[in-house]
Structure 1
Amino acid sequence: MGKKAAFFDIDGTLARFNGKELIVPESTSFALKEFRDKGNLAFICSGRPIRFIKEQFEEQSFDGYIAGNGTHIAFKGQPIYHRLIEADTIRYLIKAFDELDISCCFSGVNEGYGYNMDRHRIEEFNAQFREQNYINEQWKAEDIKVNTLDIFYSKEDNIKACQEYFRDKLVFNTHGPHMSADVSFVEWGKSHAIECLVKYLNIKIEDTLAFGDGYNDVEMLKTVNLGIAMGNGVEALKQVSDYVTTDMLEDGIYNAMKEYSLI
């Protein structure tokens, strides 16, 4: 049996951000260590920007990560893939967001670029990062290098209109009452990044598994051999999963790994 590669979403799967710090259940940390001690590989696979992952997770805890909904891949601290959003696409998105009453933040490696974000949103975003602030408020599309984005809205009707407007182009992973969503492009998301990484590592797709809870995890769970939805996950994800485990805070990752004799 070959070594396995497991992919973990962050928010609602690996951890919960309480506004001040990232909370990872002890059982999750234990399961990850035991899984890797057996010679398997563990990767973060998140919509979060690169800097957030680097600041919040110790590199030795994982073998690598997929950030920005598949747009940046790193293994053993070294980047192996990076995908940028073209300036024309940024301008197209901004024009559409103006019509849809949507504000947003484009994210790069170390900095984010806010568009029509209110002060509360900016401060909330910056609070997630140590040392220097993350958000730049003055910028031009042709001058920035970004690979992913988040959107913010004030009414549910706004996000519904946004989903309809971009139905063939974008996937919106909504964050419930926070009235925000991280965004991925239909032509390249977490699933494509996983395929790219396992090819790079020469690992068979039959030896892959993934854990997720959101809409941007649907294709990821369909791509790997064993797709596990968290008990707190969205219904659309549970419907495509091979197994639904308990909630994140109820030892969901640990219980699923025990169920499949991975630890």
Structure 2
Amino acid sequence: MTKYKVLFLDIDGTLVTPDNRIEESTKEAVAQVQAKGIEVFLATGRPLHEIDDLASQLNIRSFIGYNGANAVHKGEDIFQEPLEPALIKRYLTIAEEHNHDAVLYTNKENLFTDLQEPFIQKFIEVFHFHKNQRYTPDIEPAILGITMINLRTEDVSLYENEPGIHLSQVNVEGLTDCYDVIRDKINKGYGIQTLLNYLDIPKESSIAFGDGMNDKEMLQAVGESFAMGNGHPDIFKYAKHRTTDVTDSGIYNGLKTLGLVE
């Protein structure tokens, strides 16, 4: 019997390759740890209503979504932490003044400030989003997360004057002009800590894999943390281990070092 009880997997750049595939070695690794009784969570910045297909491929029913603002365990909603409406108003005002765009996520839809821009269409295509609508202010109390779109590097500071908020660059090829809005107190690490307490699982019995800077807190919240070989250059210092790329059996190879797959 293994001491490990739970495994948290980021999606983009960790579980899913740049062409939106899950490697066969990854599917096999997930199946093997599940057979050992380890609960597998997808831990993502994506909205949970857009990952049903990925979850079904891996027989996964537990999630952390919206960069830690919502957690689900075996189909049961554990918590939701919406953003402050006043913060949303300020961010959208800045975006309008500087010709930026945004997608705001509820637990049902993706709300874009502009659905016609070619860059928005590329974003939707890359992430295979289907439940897309135009943003309207009446939705604000239900917003769980935001991704700012079409920012230059020098624009990031415009959004980082808010206390307890920072932006995290999306680590997906062709979308590095996009940044997730991350709350210091509500992030993937917060989601993991809350779930470990809820499930009564010690930190040392948990494992996580990630590749982007929105995975920083997650990698620090678990006992065994792996940064993917294709990860953001700054993420490696937050992980205990470095594994191979997402396209080179990164999850499988990492779990193999722990003796969890054959």
TM over 0.5: yes
Which secondary structure state, in structure 2, belongs to the residue aligned with residue 85 of structure 1?
A: coil
Q: Is the 8 A contact 1:41 1:63 kept in 2?
A: no
Residue in 1 aligned with 2:187? 189
Offset of residue 59 of structure 1: 7.6
Percent identity reads 26
Q: How does 1:132-171 map to 2 (within 5 A)?
A: 133-141=130-138, 145-153=142-150, 155-159=152-156, 161-162=157-158, 165=161, 168-171=164-167
The structural deviation recorded for 1:241 is 1.1
**Residues 163 and 236 of structure 1, relative CA distance in 2, 3 Å threshold:** farther
Partners of 2:83 and 2:141 within 8 A in 1 = no
Q: Aligned-pair distance for 1:60?
A: 6.0
For the residues of structure 2 that align with 1:126 and 1:171, how far apart are their CA atoms?
20
2: CA distance, partners of 1:249 / 1:46: 19
Shift of 1:87: 1.9
Alignment coverage as a number of residue pairs: 257
RMSD of aligned residue pairs (Cα, Å) = 2.3
Q: Which runs of 5+ in 2 are unaligned?
A: none
Matching residue of 2:216: 218
User: How far apart, in 1, do the equivalents of 2:140 and 2:251 lie?
Assistant: 41
Map of 2:16 onto structure 1 = 15
* Aligned-partner SS, 1:227: strand
Which residue type is aligned with residue 62 of structure 1? I
Q: How does 1:40-55 map to 2 (within 5 A)?
A: 40-55=38-53
Partner of 1:74: 72
2:234 partner SS: helix
For the 8 Å contact 2:167–2:179, the answer to whether it is kept is no
Q: Report 1:109-258 matches (<5 A).
A: 109-116=107-114, 118-127=116-125, 128-129=127-128, 133-141=130-138, 145-153=142-150, 155-159=152-156, 161-162=157-158, 165=161, 168-175=164-171, 177-178=174-175, 179-258=177-256
Deviations 1:151-178 (A, max 9, x none): 111533333x346545851232333532
2-structure distance, mates of 1:51, 1:237: 27
SS where residue 244 of structure 2 aligns? coil
Paired with 2:192 and 2:167, the residues of 1 have a C-alpha distance of 17
Distance 1:184 1:129, change over 3 A: same
> Could you tell which deviates more after superposition, 138-147 or 209-218?
138-147
1:238 and 1:77 map into 2 onto residues whose CA distance is: 32
Q: What is the Cα deviation at residue 256 of structure 1?
A: 0.9
SS of the equivalent of 1:235 reads coil
With 147-156 and 232-241 compared, the bigger mean Cα shift is at: 147-156
Contact persistence 1:104–1:117 (CA under 8 A): no
- Specify whether residues 16 and 141 from structure 1 end up closer, same or farther in structure 2 by C-alpha distance, changes over 3 A only: farther
Structure 1 length as normaliser, TM-score?
0.88
> 242-251 or 46-55, which moves further after superposition?
46-55
1:28 deviation in Å?
Answer: 0.5
Distance of 1:244 and 1:170 partners within structure 2 = 25
Q: Are the counterparts in 1 of residues 227 and 243 from structure 2 also a CA contact under 8 Å?
A: yes
Indicate if the aligned counterparts of 2:220 and 2:239 stay in contact, CA closer than 8 A: yes
Alignment TM-score, normalising by the size of structure 2: 0.89
Question: How far is 1:116 from its partner?
Answer: 4.4
CA drift at 1:228 = 0.5
Q: Is the 8 A contact 1:87 1:142 kept in 2?
A: no
1:167–1:251 distance in 2 versus 1, CA, 3 Å: farther
User: 2:194 aligns to what SS in structure 1?
Assistant: helix
Write the letter of the residue equivalent to 1:49.
P
